Amino acid sequence: MKKEAGKNAPLTSRFPFSLALADKHRFVVTLELVPGREASGRSVDTVTSIARDAFADGRISAVSITDNPGGNPSLSPDVLGHDIFEIGMDVIVHFTCRDMNRIGMESRALQLAMMGMKNILALGGDYSGKGFGGQGAPVFDLDSVQLQIMLGLLSERINASGDPDTFFTGCAVSPFKRTEAECYAQYAKLCRKAAAGAQFAITQLGYDAEKFKELLQITKVMGIHLPLLGSVYVLRPKVAALIHGGNVPGAVVTDALLERVQKEWKDPASGREAAIERAARLCAVLKGLGYAGVHIGGVHRSFDIAGRILDRFALIEDQWPDFLQDFDFPQPAGFYAFSRELDEGAPHALFGQSPPKINFVERLRYGLLRRAHDTFFDATHPLGPVYRKGARLIDTMPGGRRLMYLVEDIPKRALLHCQKCGDCAVQHVGFLCPESQCPKHIRNGACGGSRNGRCEVFPDRPCVWVRAYRRLVRGNKTREITEGCVPPRMWELNNTSAWLNFHLQRDHQGSSNELSRRCRMIGCRL
């Protein structure tokens, strides 16, 4: 028996998620499923039966299937998703950059296209966790912005081969960052993802209605028209404690919320009811605020709990303003991009109002590197033709390339911990090295995993994008980390002189490959 939820029409056969999202009268509901680490048996049966029940229920537009969540191995979302797809349920495949290089990623995308599974949630991915025999090698060859572009280019090829059905790609965003720099980095990256072709965005998990509002406002300021799905989770005390302790990258549970959840679950039956009520109320708030839909997670045993959330949501959705107070869990000294008083009209984002201080050494390094860059590595510098001529001469001299490589290494190792990638990108990261300073080697903005300004992987270090923002905000140069898209690192230049490569237009700035060209055409503003 199919149930009605608000204006959602019941579905009788597969209704594409992309069409559901395009229907302005439909509030879209997606359900996140997490495969286990087995190829058959209980975990597979459970996920498949939840998907089957979700399809029979009719209120879920698509199930999304995670890709080695937490960086730990699990059954491939492609194969499990295909089984679910065959039931008739539309599927969103999570596609991360962590486990494959660009060759493997393209091959996987082609395979998904051939299977007809073209809804992709393009993600950077949590850092590598433990697999067979220990910690897995982190790949991160492309980042999530470059992945969007790759999928867009593959869509064009799919079209050219006569298939009108292209990839329908989405991205993730977290409005729940505590510091100004992280908020800026998140929104700047969202801007890039949208410009790179993302067609929807799903938020990370958080319980702060002001932050959900902020995301809607910032997309208006950036001129982005992207349907947003807010994450809703069935919050149990164990997961709440894990998130609170920083063990689920990007998700936020504050002290006050953890305390409340633990109190609610003193009696498990009432705890379960409270979790369902909280999830239903958050669905109502998100719909009321103007989100295009919700992405429900935390349903691991049976569809029943998701069905109960949606039943309750249908009953209470009109009361959403009363529920805003239930999602008032700010982080201590947390940054908000808009003042509450400026909610109406045309709000202005409050970035850069009180730039943080940076220490003397950081200022000195940044000043030195910027001056060197502006003098020697600005293609429009008056001496540019002279540098090019000199570079050409050195490049053709016997031992010239090797000599330049060794000379360059001395200052760059001292100032940047240079890893000699040969395709320098420090100018896109506030004159910090994305290879040595970012464990995911991201060239297009922060991942979702930073916490309190610290790196997801090395919590004792500040996130490199936070450092970049702090360096740039004083001089009003933050546009340098938002403009355009940085092409992927050119591995063919590994262990060569980045200085020669720049002047001889061999690096990503001069490359004519299709991904680099498309990257350079992208524009966004924050």
**Contact status, residue 5 vs residue 313, Cβ threshold 8 Å:** yes
Tell me the closest approach of the beta carbon of residue 495 to ligand SF4, in angstroms: 10
**Contact status, residue 424 vs residue 410, Cβ threshold 8 Å:** no
Site string for ligand SF4, 491-510 (x = CB under 6 A): -------x------------
Tell me the closest approach of the beta carbon of residue 447 to ligand SF4, in angstroms: 17
Tell me the closest approach of the beta carbon of residue 509 to ligand SF4, in angstroms: 12
Q: Which two tokens stand for residue 522?
A: 């992208």
Site for ligand SF4 in 381-440 (CB under 6 A): 412, 416, 418-421, 424-426, 433-436
Residue 101 or 419: the one with the smaller Cβ distance to ligand SF4 is 419
Distance CA 324, CA 294 (A): 16
Tell me the closest approach of the beta carbon of residue 419 to ligand SF4, in angstroms: 4
Q: Helical H runs in 37-179?
A: 42-57, 77-87, 102-115, 144-160
> What letter would DSSP give residue 462?
B
Tell me the closest approach of the beta carbon of residue 381 to ligand SF4, in angstroms: 19
Please state whether 14 falls in left (phi above 0), alpha (psi between -120 and 50) or beta: beta
Read off φ and ψ for residue 364, nearest 5 degrees.
-65, -50
Residue 94 or 467: the one with the smaller Cβ distance to ligand SF4 is 467
The Cα angle at residue 325 between residues 319 and 326, in degrees rounded to 5: 85
Cβ within 8 Å of residue 4, ≥6 positions away = 10, 314
Q: Which residue, 198, 183, 233, is CA-closest to 450? A: 183
Q: Helical H runs in 298-419?
A: 304-316, 320-323, 360-376, 384-396, 400-416
Tell me the closest approach of the beta carbon of residue 468 to ligand SF4, in angstroms: 13
The Cα angle at residue 59 between residues 298 and 328, in degrees rounded to 5: 50
Residue 5 or 418: the one with the smaller Cβ distance to ligand SF4 is 418
Residue 98 or 428: the one with the smaller Cβ distance to ligand SF4 is 428
**Contact status, residue 442 vs residue 481, Cβ threshold 8 Å:** no
Tell me the closest approach of the beta carbon of residue 418 to ligand SF4, in angstroms: 3
Q: Say which amino acid occupies 23.
A: D
Count of residues engaged in binding ligand SF4, rule: CB under 6 A: 14
**Contact status, residue 176 vs residue 204, Cβ threshold 8 Å:** yes
Dihedral, CA of residue 71, residue 74, residue 78 and residue 81, to nearest 10: -120
Distance CA 323, CA 321 (A): 5
Helix (H, G, I), strand (E, B) or coil at 435: helix
**Contact status, residue 176 vs residue 223, Cβ threshold 8 Å:** no
Distance CA 423, CA 405 (A): 12
Tell me the closest approach of the beta carbon of residue 434 to ligand SF4, in angstroms: 6
Q: Which two tokens stand for residue 26?
A: 């439909």
**Contact status, residue 138 vs residue 128, Cβ threshold 8 Å:** yes
Residue 416 or 446: the one with the smaller Cβ distance to ligand SF4 is 416
Q: Which residue, 188, 221, 126, 250, is CA-closest to 430? A: 188
Residue 39 or 403: the one with the smaller Cβ distance to ligand SF4 is 403
Tell me the closest approach of the beta carbon of residue 398 to ligand SF4, in angstroms: 24
**Contact status, residue 279 vs residue 15, Cβ threshold 8 Å:** no
Tell me the closest approach of the beta carbon of residue 37 to ligand SF4, in angstroms: 35
Distance CA 184, CA 191 (A): 10
Tell me the closest approach of the beta carbon of residue 395 to ligand SF4, in angstroms: 17
Residue 174 or 496: the one with the smaller Cβ distance to ligand SF4 is 496
Following DSSP, what letter does each residue of 66-85 receive, concatenated? -SSGGG-----HHHHHHHHH
Residue 197 or 422: the one with the smaller Cβ distance to ligand SF4 is 422
Tell me the closest approach of the beta carbon of residue 405 to ligand SF4, in angstroms: 10
Distance CA 132, CA 127 (A): 16
Residue 174 or 497: the one with the smaller Cβ distance to ligand SF4 is 497
Q: Which residue, 224, 473, 226, 210, is CA-closest to 342? A: 210
Residue 348 or 371: the one with the smaller Cβ distance to ligand SF4 is 371
**Contact status, residue 427 vs residue 377, Cβ threshold 8 Å:** yes
Residue 5 or 500: the one with the smaller Cβ distance to ligand SF4 is 500
Tell me the closest approach of the beta carbon of residue 424 to ligand SF4, in angstroms: 3
Tell me the closest approach of the beta carbon of residue 425 to ligand SF4, in angstroms: 5
Residue 150 or 493: the one with the smaller Cβ distance to ligand SF4 is 493
296 lines the binding site for ligand SF4 (CB under 6 A):
no
Residue 98 or 441: the one with the smaller Cβ distance to ligand SF4 is 441
Residue 66 or 497: the one with the smaller Cβ distance to ligand SF4 is 497
Residues near ligand SF4 (CB under 6 A) are 412, 416, 418-421, 424-426, 433-436, 498
